Amino acid sequence: MNFSAEPALQLQNVTRRYGKVVAVNNVSLAAAQGECLVIVGPSGCGKTTLLRLIAGLDVQDEGSIKIQNRIVSGKGVFVPPEKRRVGLVFQDYALFPHMTIARNVAFGLHGRSKADVQRRVYEMLEMVHLAHMADRYPHELSGGERQRVALARALAPQPDILLLDEPFSSLDAGLRTAMREQLQSLLKEINITTFFVTHDQEEALLLGNRVAVVNQGRIEQIGTPEQVFHQPATHFVAEFFGYTVFISGRATADGLETELGFLPQRLSLDSGAEVNILVRPDDLTVYPDETGQAYIARTGFQGMHCMYQIALPSGRTIYSLMPHTRIYAPGTRVRVELHPGHDLVCFRNGRAVTDVGRGEGVEEIENRR
Ligand SMILES: Nc1ncnc2c1ncn2[C@@H]1O[C@H](COP(=O)(O)OP(=O)(O)OP(=O)(O)O)[C@@H](O)[C@H]1O
């Protein structure tokens, strides 16, 4: 990744409306050369529209898009998709069914000698470990293999940017994990700038060098996976990353009073100030206790872990992730202890209180890949 050079991809104040729907709302972002920028958000938030605007399959109403410092859309310019030097991979592979795998991969290779095309196709199929299947047709491949062909086809013409739209969402869970790992290695190997769209938070955190969380056409927050997870700027971002609950707390000179006990975490707020505290399932532990005021409402056995849904006396529901060796039945009375091992993020009026966040106890990760 090269953050010092001109960005490989740049969007400036991009807006796209469909009638009254503002699908993309004044989005500005930049991706560095070699960076994998993941766009994540709920269904309908505008992810695919953003990707289609970059690809040239749609046109924004306002703003401009640059690829390798050249305007491709905006300010009276529109470069057609085939001249943008972008590679596209969609969820449904979009392979040509009547062509062999080799011919599919060769599809975008224009103006080259036959020998050169053959060499490049072979190189690409080797890269995705499918050279031995070059003469097969798409229907003779598994879903994962087809998606690897789609990737090879997108990369064959050496695009400046790779655009991926939910590429693994039609694969089963095991294959999806394997494909994510393979893509991660591949992107590192070829150092291509990647714009990756997904609604899957786990996929976003795993694959992104940075992650942009989108809500109703706007970017709520953009940062490293660790930043968006540990330092969510808004309630929306905090809630997006799974099983999040907020409990209320009150600032004191020594820490925070909460319905789950006292937290020795100081905020620079006046004593008595009310906050909402972000609590994730790994921040608390449950212990069976007949005198406990809380009880297990649901036992979600997941193999390696158990996700408990716990009803608190206040009527609030919280979650606790426990090892598979501790299985308690629904209805069990429990004591709940909050000991996160790091500062918890606190919110006022939907926004994080600025002097907490990453907090004590969370180590900085360098060179995450
Ligand atoms: N061609 C279109 N005409 C009218 N409205 C559209 C069109 N394309 C998208 N929209 C609307 O724009 C909004 C953003 O759609 P988009 O497909 O970008 O969302 P998304 O985040 O990719 O969703 P998903 O995860 O479900 O694919 C939605 O409200 C959608 O209904």
In this structure, which residue's CA is closest to atom 23 in ligand 1?
44
* Same domain assignment for residues 93 and 213: yes
**Test site for ligand 1: of 15, 20, 21, most ligand atoms within 8 A of the Cβ:** 21
Q: What is the CATH number of the domain that holds 286?
A: 2.40.50.140
The mean predicted confidence, pLDDT, of the chain is: 90
* Same domain assignment for residues 174 and 285: no
Average the pLDDT over 215-242 and give the result: 93
Domain assignment present for 362: no
Give the amino acid at 360.
Answer: E
Average the pLDDT over 148-159 and give the result: 93
> What distance in Å separates the CA atoms of residue 322 and residue 241, rounded to the nearest whole number?
18
* Same domain assignment for residues 224 and 248: no
Average the pLDDT over 48-76 and give the result: 96
Q: What is the pLDDT of residues 154-167, one digit of tens each?
A: 999 999 999 999 99
- Say what the ipTM of the complex is: 0.97
**Tokens (6 digits) for 201:** 């938070």
Stretch (H or E) spanning 15: strand 9-18
Confidence check: pLDDT of 121 > 80: yes
Q: Identify the three-state secondary structure at position 355.
A: coil
319 Cα–ligand 1 center, Å = 32
Question: Looking at the 3D structure of the chain, how many domains does it have?
Answer: 2
Q: What is the CATH number of the domain that holds 143?
A: 3.40.50.300
Ligand 1: does its nearest atom lie under 6 Å from the Cβ of 49?
yes
Domain assignment present for 194: yes
The pTM of this model reads: 0.89
* Same domain assignment for residues 325 and 293: yes
Confidence check: pLDDT of 9 > 70: yes
* Same domain assignment for residues 275 and 128: no
For 187, the domain range is: 7-230
237 contacts 230 by C-beta, under 8 angstroms: no
Average the pLDDT over 300-329 and give the result: 91
- All residues at 6 or more sequence positions from 69 whose CB lies less than 8 Å from its CB, including other chains: 6, 7, 10
Angle at 222 between CA 217 and CA 228, to 5 degrees: 115
Average the pLDDT over 260-287 and give the result: 91
pLDDT band at 356 (very low <50, low <70, confident <90, very high): very low
In this structure, which residue's CA is closest to atom 16 in ligand 1?
46
Confidence check: pLDDT of 52 > 70: yes
Percent of the chain with pLDDT over 70: 94
Distance of CA 207 to the CA centre of its chain: 7
**Ligand 1 nearest-atom number relative to CA 48:** 22
* Same domain assignment for residues 211 and 249: no
Ligand 1: does its nearest atom lie under 6 Å from the Cβ of 45?
yes
Confidence check: pLDDT of 354 > 70: no
* Same domain assignment for residues 217 and 251: no
Q: Dump the DSSP string for 307-345.
A: EEEEE-TTS-EEEEEEETT----TT-EEEEEE--SSPPP
In this structure, which residue's CA is closest to atom 13 in ligand 1?
23
In this structure, which residue's CA is closest to atom 20 in ligand 1?
44
Residue 349 sits at φ, ψ, to 5 deg, of 55, 40
> What distance in Å separates the CA atoms of residue 18 and residue 88, rounded to the nearest whole number?
23
Radius of gyration of the chain, Cα coordinates, nearest whole angstrom: 24
**Tokens (6 digits) for 141:** 């491949």
pLDDT band at 363 (very low <50, low <70, confident <90, very high): low
pLDDT band at 97 (very low <50, low <70, confident <90, very high): very high
Q: Comparing 191-205, 210-224, 258-272, which segment has the lowest mean pLDDT?
A: 258-272
**Ligand 1 nearest-atom number relative to CA 58:** 1
Specify the higher pLDDT residue, 90 or 47: 47
Ligand 1: does its nearest atom lie under 6 Å from the Cβ of 53?
no
Confidence check: pLDDT of 366 > 90: no
- The whole-number pLDDT of residue 15 equals 98
**Tokens (6 digits) for 247:** 């409990």
Residue 291 sits at φ, ψ, to 5 deg, of -90, 0
* Same domain assignment for residues 196 and 269: no
